[in-house]
Structure 1
């Protein structure tokens, strides 16, 4: 462990404090805006509750009058996000394990090249694929459905899941799996009983990354859903009316949207950091 002393320590602490303010202030502003009276939302200087303004739940009451729509959108986000993250992690885990344990060759490409090629697909702008995918999904009848949105998110997040799991499995010593094979275990048993338990932090980290991407995704949800399968990001954007942005309503919906992710990250944050740090070890 590196120990800092004197001026270096205070400099690092100052940087961390500034970074903490940068990260936390938008959340603080969002929550306080959701409890401001409507007149104070557009008045400058109203920042601290009980000091600059008297908190009220009027914005929450107005925003939640259409409770059915809010519950439906939140349910859609949960079902599509959790489901697609689970499927993506499963498929990405198998792909990452194969790339870390078996030697593949496609022309000049080797395992490392294939893993990088998979990751490079994540860089492709989503809008490039919108038209052909929309025609395909409309033909098979899964536009404006949780299934269709889930398939899109699996396709969109699979490259990064496969790459993360590939990097993580590389850190696991192959000697343990060889010992199991010597004892008579097959490839499937080695994968399920040896590799997966050892890769648990990486699996959790990959699942959380995929969940965050799916939960916050906007472009595909905007184009491929209309009413039934709309997710929370669309509900947040829908608070901007022809009269302009309703900031207090946007703050309420944004708070509802990020609250589940904040709770999940708080509970599993250590696993997320452990998985990502280990996977990026080399």
Structure 2
């Protein structure tokens, strides 16, 4: 045996290590680029809320370098430091629309979560037969409701809500938003329940629990990550909904997206006011997403390894 045979060949190891480094570098570069693409609109919105008209039209982007930040956008809403403690009609309107958005979005998301969890548990644990439809067909029926564009439902809902006196009411928006996000909640929660072993239900039945007892005391606590993910996703969809909020409301039940879209004047769009409104509108969702991130990721990836 020669001395060269005792020395390991380092060329393949070096080549493999170089490939890993290059691959990891490309992955991180792609992630950084995608983060830049996703965060650029948010950055533009936040900085625009501190711009004057000249800075907006000239496309200045970097504060203190391209332009001097100003409270113009927030002052127009009565939310700047020099106007926050005074009387402001725009601020009163903003708080009213903000309250409507919170009430309708949270209410619809909670109602959809309750109904969707019950439906998803039934589709996960029991076998149904409705005409030719089985469990998968029923789930597809729920998901197919997302195919319809909102404009197709505009006239029927307008006529129905007028007959039921639900126009310009927060309760009417809650019912409509619940129908909108219910299929998504059922889809997420069904995967969540499918990932929980059926043996836990059987063990609960042996211990004397009923179906409701097993569901509420055993299965539901284990499905908390999926419930949080479904709730946050429903909340985002309801919070950002504009079409039906603009169609079915006029004064009392208007939400923030409708108010954001109304920031136009005789000179055109008030970009600074619209940006300040948008920043205030997305802030609660960003904060909720940061604090509940681990639940959202865990809930949305449940069953992905199957």
Contact 2:169 2:253 in 1 (8 A): yes
Equivalent residue, structure 2, for 1:10: 25
Equivalent residue, structure 1, for 2:214: 190
Deviation for aligned residue 1:243:
2.7
Equivalent residue, structure 2, for 1:20: 35
Q: 272, 278, 283: which one pairs with 1:259?
A: 283
Is 1:60 aligned with 2:66? no
* TM norm structure 2: 0.88
* TM norm structure 1: 0.96
Instruction: Pick which of 185-194 and 57-66 moved more.
Output: 57-66
Deviation for aligned residue 1:14:
0.5
Q: Give the Cα separation in 1 of the matches to 2:33 and 2:24.
A: 14
Within 5 A, what are the aligned runs for 1:238-257?
238-257=262-281
Is 1:51 aligned with 2:65? yes
Equivalent residue, structure 2, for 1:98: 122
Contact 1:168 1:275 in 2 (8 A): yes
Is 1:175 aligned with 2:190? no
Q: Give the Cα separation in 1 of the matches to 2:295 and 2:156.
A: 38
Q: Give the Cα separation in 2 of the matches to 1:209 and 1:242.
A: 37
Q: 39, 42, 48: which one pairs with 2:54?
A: 39
Q: Give the Cα separation in 1 of the matches to 2:129 and 2:187.
A: 17
Report the CA distance shift for 1:256/1:56 in structure 2 as closer, same or farther (over 3 A): same
Q: Give the Cα separation in 2 of the matches to 1:158 and 1:63.
A: 34
Is 1:164 aligned with 2:188? yes
For structure 1, the residue ranges without an aligned partner over 5 or more in a row are none
Deviation for aligned residue 1:123:
1.9
Deviation for aligned residue 1:280:
4.6
Contact 2:123 2:135 in 1 (8 A): yes
Q: Give the Cα separation in 2 of the matches to 1:16 and 1:240.
A: 37
Deviation for aligned residue 1:158:
0.8
Report the CA distance shift for 1:280/1:86 in structure 2 as closer, same or farther (over 3 A): farther
- Of structures 1 and 2, the larger Rg is shown by 2
Report the CA distance shift for 1:281/1:86 in structure 2 as closer, same or farther (over 3 A): farther
For structure 2, the residue ranges without an aligned partner over 5 or more in a row are 1-16, 79-87
Equivalent residue, structure 1, for 2:136: 112
Equivalent residue, structure 1, for 2:158: 134
Q: Give the Cα separation in 1 of the matches to 2:252 and 2:283.
A: 22
Equivalent residue, structure 2, for 1:89: 113
Is 1:76 aligned with 2:90? no
Count of residues in correspondence between the two structures? 279
Q: Give the Cα separation in 1 of the matches to 2:303 and 2:256.
A: 31
Contact 2:72 2:272 in 1 (8 A): no
Contact 1:164 1:279 in 2 (8 A): no
Q: Give the Cα separation in 1 of the matches to 2:145 and 2:304.
A: 19
SS in structure 1 of the partner of residue 302 of structure 2:
helix
Contact 2:104 2:170 in 1 (8 A): yes
> RMSD of the TM alignment (CA)?
1.4
Contact 2:63 2:69 in 1 (8 A): yes
Q: Give the Cα separation in 1 of the matches to 2:305 and 2:181.
A: 22
SS in structure 1 of the partner of residue 301 of structure 2:
helix
Contact 1:96 1:163 in 2 (8 A): yes
